[in-house]
Amino acid sequence: MYLLEFVGDDDAFAAREAGSRASAVDRIASGMATARGIEHPETLSYTRRVCRLLGTCEPAIEAAVAVVDAARIDRTGTVAVRARDVRGLSGVDTRAAERRLGRVLVDRGYEVDLETPDHTLIALFSDDLAALGWLTCETVRDFSSRKPTDKPFFQPGSMDPMDARAIANIAGAAPGARLLDPMCGTGGILVEAGLAGAAVVGVDAQRKMVRGARRNLRQYLGDGSVLRGDVTRLPLVADSFDGVVFDAPYGRQSKIEGSSLEALVADALGETRRLAPRAVLVADRPWTSAAESAGWDVTDRFERRVHASLVRHVHVLG
């Protein structure tokens, strides 16, 4: 059993992303969840740490000490303790928690090494629960190095790379997977999917976007295919992808080569249905009825606030 520490304040969204890499994810407290069978967690976006779960208790230092005291600990080598008051909800003195838990581990025969320990004990204190575990993975937090405005090709409205990674992961991005973005724009989702290990293909109707997306993929991936094409008539073989993800155009007055936005999205949902068993549609409004009419099941839907005038609706389709 694994312990997950989430990033941000939308635990449902973080758990859904983590569920793309695990056989089961169960939220246990604010900012925390347990998981089974997790693979490739290092490229998750809204998970900060993955640990081997040691135990849970009430959010108090002595209760955490009791968990360590009761556990069978047969490791050798050096150790460090890292305690965290998740979202500031517990009010626990984390420095005191680290010192107290560290003394327990020293009594068990460990030596302390705060710089390069062989093992790290993580103690997470939330509002009504604490959880402890041995650190197995800290996710790569390099999203600020790929801010949309710093990329070779940028357009206003480009998605933040942290959300793009999470959405790509939910769509199935992972080592060995093939992922399609048929409205790829600047290629931000493709970049994050590729960095998560997927082989990526992008399509866009605008020549400028195709050229720009290729530049961005070369910068960050050195690879990846971007084609100019019509999302409603894709020259791609049925069932040739593990997942599809696309960020639909925003604005109720949007027109694409004479077609209404409603018709465009409906046709795109129908066309992508034949290409992959799952998809993620991002839009500025709910498209549940259109997705279901195209043959998709809407298994989850999340609202991600960008700013006061824009909420992204993330539809998970299967």
pLDDT digits over 258-317, tens only?
568 889 999 999 999 999 999 999 999 999 999 999 999 999 999 999 888 889 999 999
Which is more confident, 191 or 249? 191
pLDDT digits over 47-60, tens only?
999 999 999 999 99
Examine the pLDDT at 155 and tell me if it is beyond 80: yes
The closest of 121, 2, 23, 9 to 73, measured between CA atoms, is 121
Examine the pLDDT at 75 and tell me if it is beyond 80: no
- Kind plus residue range of the DSSP H or E element containing 290: helix 288-293
Q: pLDDT band at residue 253, thresholds of 50, 70 and 90?
A: very low
CB 164 within 8 A of CB 196: no
CB 137 within 8 A of CB 47: no
Q: In what order do the strands lie in the sheet with 199-204?
A: 225-228, 199-204, 178-181, 243-247, 279-283, 310-317, 298-307
pLDDT digits over 213-243, tens only?
999 999 999 988 999 999 999 999 999 999 9
pLDDT digits over 207-219, tens only?
999 999 999 999 9
pLDDT digits over 134-152, tens only?
999 999 999 999 999 999 9
3-state secondary structure of 104: helix
The closest of 99, 112, 37, 109 to 73, measured between CA atoms, is 109
pLDDT digits over 88-131, tens only?
999 999 999 999 999 999 988 899 999 999 999 999 999 999 99
The pairing of strands 243-247 and 225-228 is unpaired
Percent of the chain whose predicted confidence (pLDDT) is above 90: 88
Q: pLDDT band at residue 257, thresholds of 50, 70 and 90?
A: low
One DSSP character per residue, 206-250 reads -HHHHHHHHHHHHHHTS--EEEE--TTS----TT--SEEEEEPPP
Examine the pLDDT at 44 and tell me if it is beyond 50: yes
Percent of the chain whose predicted confidence (pLDDT) is above 70: 97
Handedness of CA 37, 40, 43, 48 (dihedral sign): positive
Strand ranges inside 93-223, DSSP E: 111-112, 119-125, 130-138, 178-181, 199-204
> CATH number for the 2-138 domain, one of 3.40.50.10470, 3.30.1310.10, 3.30.2130.30, 2.60.120.560?
3.30.2130.30
The structure's pTM equals: 0.93
User: According to the model, what pLDDT value does residue 254 have?
Assistant: 46
- Contact partners, residue 192, CB within 8 Å, separation at least 6: 45, 146, 161, 164, 165, 168, 173
What's the topology of domain 143-317? Rossmann fold (3.40.50)
- Exposure string (b/e) for 99-129, b if CB count within 10 Å is 16 or more? ebbbebbeeeebeeeeeebebbbbbbbbeeb
User: According to the model, what pLDDT value does residue 255 have?
Assistant: 45
Examine the pLDDT at 18 and tell me if it is beyond 70: yes
In the chain, domain spans: 2-138, 143-317
What's the full length of the chain, in residues? 318
Examine the pLDDT at 80 and tell me if it is beyond 60: yes
Q: Say which range, 156-165, 180-189, 230-239, 246-255, has the weakest mean pLDDT.
A: 246-255
